[in-house]
Chains A and B, each alone.
Chain A
Amino acid sequence: MMRALLFIVIAAVVLAGLALLPSKLGGEYGVGLMLGMAGYVTLASAWALFSGPTRYISLATVAFFGIGAYTVAVLSDHLPYPVVLAIAALIGFVVALVVGLATLRLAGIYFVIFTFGLAELVRQLVSWYEVNVTGTLGRYIFLPITAEQIYWQLLALAAITLGIGWLISRSRIGLALKVIGDDEVVAAHTGIPIAGIKLGLFAISATLITLVGAIQAPRWTYIEPAIVFNPTISFLTVIMAFLGGAHRLWGPTLGAVPLFLLFEWLSANFPAHYSIILGVLFIAIVFLVPDGILSRFEGGWRRLRRGARTGGAS
């Protein structure tokens, strides 16, 4: 009880500190940097909620992200902003349920390909609709929301995402997820409703991702399918979660922060070679730290302690 209270106090202080950071950092650039970082921390953490424990690698991140952004672009002129966000979340949730029902029986590589295809399909559908029905490819978003306000919303969403992850890890669902990750046959025979749990988790994860897209949308002012359905967003999310460790609560955050800063620096200094370096990094991470740096550290720490113990005995 005491520890939980202490944790909440510390979390609140850290959050407040992070919320005030851009104004101290000063300048438009500082705010933009923190905003992008908060966005990717949320994306990677939300992605890992589902893909970490189930080991289903989803490349549909950008499908939901783009759905969120487009919902805001289409509705923001007609409805109050909070209502638009709620509708975006609802659309993401429903799409995730439909997609999940159709695909969660697929295993391994088939699921990866399907989710990648889904993102492309949504992008093509939106492009087709815009060109043939609306008559223009792009849309403008004029909302009186400052970059700092967007950052605060993303920060809150990141906190909510981590909070959900923490609650799940302490619940029966968290245990069920570990069992499903280990052995689905045993999971089913001990009475775990595997399909229902996967579907629910996929929907929660997708809803959060949709909200990231919706909240970030006003930042662009002008959007088109190539921007908000850019598959690089899906790949970056996966690589960030992998680097930190997708099956740890703080893993995706730990991966997202350094990688986001690195990509910022790379795209500013090596704009032409950005994609090549990204590809090399992706391969390096999968080869060198397949379970993420967090479990690397834990493994190293355990070896160190064991070494100290046997060293002391001899």
Chain B
Amino acid sequence: MTDLVVESIHKTLGPVHVLKGASFTASKGMIVALLGASGSGKTTLLRCLAGLEVPESGRITIGDAPVFDGKARIAVPPEKRNIGLVFQSYALWPHKTVAENVAFGLKLRGVATAQAAQRVDATLEKLGLGHLSERYPFQLSGGQQQRVAICRALIYEPSVILLDEPLSNLDAKLREEARFWIRKLILDLKLCAVVVTHDQGEALAMSDRILLLKDGRIVQEGSPVDIYARPAHRYTAEFLGMNNIVTGVARSQTGRAWSLEGEGWTLPGTAVGEPEPRQGEKAVAIVRMERVRTHNQPGPNRMQMTVDGSVYLGDRWEYRLIRGGLALRAQGEEPIGTGSVWCEIKPEHVWIFGDDGALAA
């Protein structure tokens, strides 16, 4: 069943129209990621779900109950929405111990003290915090604070758990661990979760469904694989991955097949989404770096290019290749010397979009 339904939410903050009709749904045992650059409205959308901001119009339903309805003038305050929210800063109450922080939600719901203590102990134990229950937040490391914040948000079994940039305050190593265990925990407990993040890696690794936001609208919605490998919009293609972005003139071939031409080079490619390229007009091709292969001899879909230089990145090398006005970046495991290489890109990996000039990466 669907546990969270969000329908065309509009929200202005002062003169800024932050959300322009965002809609999506989420259900139990599923993690939805709201992905977007800063200023895309993702945090505002999360705060609207929590009831910390009141939208101007739209509808939000949690479980069976509408918690916000612009037309029916319903705006349920945050405490009556039965949600859990993990804040970016964790927002642990400094005057309460770990156990008291976690128990507060149960206390508010009238759970008997003994029973509450039992549940708190069990939950803390589950997240490996059992020995810290009498500590105060300032005595904990960042990773421990994060676990406490998550415990606190899920102990009272909320209908929806919301996580605002849950990993941004952790260092890189902990972050990779955390995105794995948080996902596992949410799926184990069959929670309905919404995660806000600006980090594509986090969104791809943690969620079942990604909503890419731009300027308060959802640009594309889909599984991580859809979003990464099958962009339906130029913004999606540019936002995710490490990309080569090439401008040239579009030439229509058969069907969806197009090519992009520049001075002394031609890239065969495919039109995959909005905006569509137009015959003879300026267009862009977006090619994921990992899709560019280099070879020592010619072959199909290969083009001879000059090596401008190589950069060592630790786990791999990055090659800078040029041909006339065309510059590409590729990667490989070995350094390559100066001279020429044959660069192979399959046409289905060259995504050609019309250039409406209004988009930035």
- Are A and B associated in one complex? no
- Residues in chain B within 8 A of chain A (CB atoms): none
Binding site for B on A (CB under 8 A): none
